């Protein structure tokens, strides 16, 4: 890829969104990602496309490893797909029955935790030195042996994310969260800081590649007919629990709609005297 030159004061306000969404299971991360700029292509490793049922402009590719004794393929299928995306962002070129010229505007990895598991399974299957084996009933299970297995996994995942994020469209990754452990925590006696960390914690290293890091959390809200309800809310600014961050002019708590938040940011730029330029078209 050639060196890219950009004059930043001539850039549109959100020409390219690189966003990491962090939250617990069933807190609305996937549905939030589906509110991004469309068409959206989900790279689904969690095998739950049903959570996006009925959403227009959303397309899903699900990657699933075959059962033992077949070789795991999900991570390498994804690598192959990234190569094809580098050749074309047209959904029609990727097997979807859509009009030619349906250009992907957002790629989503859902989720990093499961992609990491797929990468580790592939590495252990092909490199016996990375694994220990347990056999029962004619079936084998592989477990990582030492840090080499972890390093092989994280190196692969980092490369996947960087290649996808280099494409001329928006990139969203979805990470799960866990309670942050204190420095003196041990497996036998765990201690916690009261803060939130990504899960697995080693994938905190991906956050440095994403200018926008938002937490998604079910929050007690007054719903219809003044009834209390727990609804997904976005936390784009840092809190005592988690170091969120954003390049946009947003409030501490927002409704879960990415396109609306981009529009809100652009409006605030205009009213502050900065006139945003129109978004650039994706280059293929």
Annotated domain spans of the chain: 15-271
Class of the CATH-defined domain 15-271: alpha beta
Q: Are 154 and 162 in contact, with CB atoms under 8 Å apart?
A: no
**Vertex 253, ends 279 and 201: CA angle to 5°?**
90
Q: pLDDT by residue (tens digit) across 51-89?
A: 999 999 999 999 999 988 899 999 999 999 999 999 999
Question: Is the per-residue pLDDT at 212 higher than 60?
Answer: yes
Average pLDDT, the chain: 92
Q: What is the pLDDT of residue 280?
A: 46
Q: pLDDT by residue (tens digit) across 139-185?
A: 888 888 889 999 999 999 999 999 999 999 999 999 999 999 999 99
Please spell the DSSP secondary structure of 262-276, one letter per residue. HHHHHHHHHHTT--P
Q: d(Cα 120, Cα 147) in Å, to the nearest integer? A: 12
Residue written as token pair 């996937």: 30
Q: Which residues contact 176 (CB under 8 A, 6 or more apart)?
A: 22, 23, 24, 25, 111, 113, 198, 199
Q: 14, exposed or middle or buried, with CB in 10 Å at 0-12, 13-18, 19+?
A: buried
Residue 56 tokens, joined? 């227009």
Q: pLDDT by residue (tens digit) across 223-251?
A: 778 888 889 999 999 999 999 999 999 99
Q: d(Cα 135, Cα 150) in Å, to the nearest integer? A: 22
Residue 203 CA from chain centroid, whole number: 11
The CA distances from residue 141 to 67, 120, 135, 183, 193, in Å, are: 11, 13, 6, 32, 34
Nearest to 258 by CA among 282, 234, 232: 234
Q: What percent of the chain is modeled with pLDDT above 70?
A: 95
């Amino acid at each position: 890829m050639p060196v890219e030159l950009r004059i930043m004061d001539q850039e549109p306000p959100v020409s390219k969104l690189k966003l990491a969404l962090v939250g617990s299971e069933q807190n609305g991360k996937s549905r939030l990602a589906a509110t991004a700029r469309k068409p959206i292509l989900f790279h689904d490793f969690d095998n739950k496309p049903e959570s996006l049922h009925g959403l227009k402009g959303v397309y899903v590719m699900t990657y699933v490893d075959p059962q033992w004794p077949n070789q795991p393929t999900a991570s390498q299928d994804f690598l192959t797909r990234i190569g094809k995306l580098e050749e074309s962002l047209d959904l029609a070129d990727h097997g979807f029955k859509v009009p030619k010229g349906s250009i992907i505007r957002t790629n989503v990895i859902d989720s990093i935790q499961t992609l990491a598991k797929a990468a580790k399974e592939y590495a252990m299957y092909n490199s016996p030195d990375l694994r220990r084996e347990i056999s029962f009933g004619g079936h084998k299970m592989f477990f990582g042996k030492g840090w080499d297995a972890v390093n092989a996994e994280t190196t692969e995942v980092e490369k996947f994310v960087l290649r996808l994020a280099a494409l001329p469209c928006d990139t969203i990754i979805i990470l799960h969260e866990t309670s942050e452990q204190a420095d003196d925590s041990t497996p036998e006696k765990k201690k916690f800081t009261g803060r939130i960390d990504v899960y697995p914690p080693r994938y905190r290293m991906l956050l440095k590649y994403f200018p926008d890091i938002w937490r998604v959390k079910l929050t007690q809200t007054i719903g219809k007919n003044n009834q209390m309800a727990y609804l997904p809310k976005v936390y784009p600014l840092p809190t005592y629990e988690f170091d969120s961050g954003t390049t946009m002019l947003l409030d501490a708590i927002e409704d879960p709609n990415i396109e609306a938040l981009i529009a809100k940011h652009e409006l605030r730029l205009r009213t502050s005297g900065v006139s945003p330029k129109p978004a650039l078209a994706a280059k293929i």
